[in-house]
Amino acid sequence: MRNLKVTMAYRGTKYHGYQRQDNALTIQEVVEKNVSRVLNHPVTINGCSRTDTGVHANCYCFNVYTDKEIPVRNFIRGVNGYLPDDISILTCEDVDENFHARFDCLGKEYIYKLHCSESKNPFANDLMLHYRRKFDVELARRAAEYFIGTHDFAAFCSNSASASTTVRTIYDFRIENVGDCVIMLVKGNGFLYNMIRIMVGTLIWVNEGKISCDDIPAIMLSKDRTKAGKTAMPHGLYLNRVFYGENSIDELQCRSSVKEMRYG
């Protein structure tokens, strides 16, 4: 039995997240259907993460088992030939039978994109959050420093009761201007439900003067979701990278320089 490790990219606009649902179209459903067509047998893919409705991925990983001897290049070409234009297989490789895309994941990197302009961008209305105010990047950077490290992020989770623990480690939180866009890059060992979107919403509150940078530690200690900022819209969020294997630990845990930041 072969175990294939596959990466893909997708535009989440038309989908109700990654995970299969009975009454809505999802990424998993579409990918499983078309991988099954290529392998000529039913499959269940094991995804690295659940992404919400409207969230995108620059690099999403899943693994799938098969006894077919199809070359990996043919697998990529075959599946891409069936997939819709908003989902694309990027890579495929044979890995150890015990590899699991979710359970072997050491950490993830997300980016969040804001288009900061009075005028909307008709080419990115579902790919960036349209934010009409000026965004103070330096102020947001100072606030984001409080997120870095190991903390209890219960105040930054929409449903903390569903998690066995709300303690997570954030290794990096970079914020940069790229033209009229602001891009936030976050690396961590794991993320709670809506955690990144709530952190982004909290930084937006900081930008708008609703809370100060120095309020963030107290918000963390409160473990009270109502004290943190709003949940930012999903369409600005992208799963950007997934980290596996000991050789990726240093890259996951280091702070990124501006030149090293990858936006997909």
CA torsion through residues 109, 202, 218, 193, sign:
negative
Q: How far apart are CA 21 and CA 213, in angstroms?
A: 39
Cβ 155 vs Cβ 228: under 8 Å? yes
Instruction: Name the amino acid, one letter, at 153.
Output: F
Q: What is the dihedral of CA 216, 220, 222, 225, to 10 degrees?
A: 90
52 catalytically annotated: yes
**Pick the catalytic residue: 22, 52, 94, 215?**
52
Which SS3 state, helix, strand or coil, does residue 8 take?
strand
Rounded Cα distance between 116 and 83, Å, is 33
Which residues, including other chains, have CB under 8 Å from residue 182's CB and lie 6 or more apart?
Answer: 113, 114, 116, 131, 135, 137, 140, 175, 176
Q: Residues with catalytic annotation?
A: 52
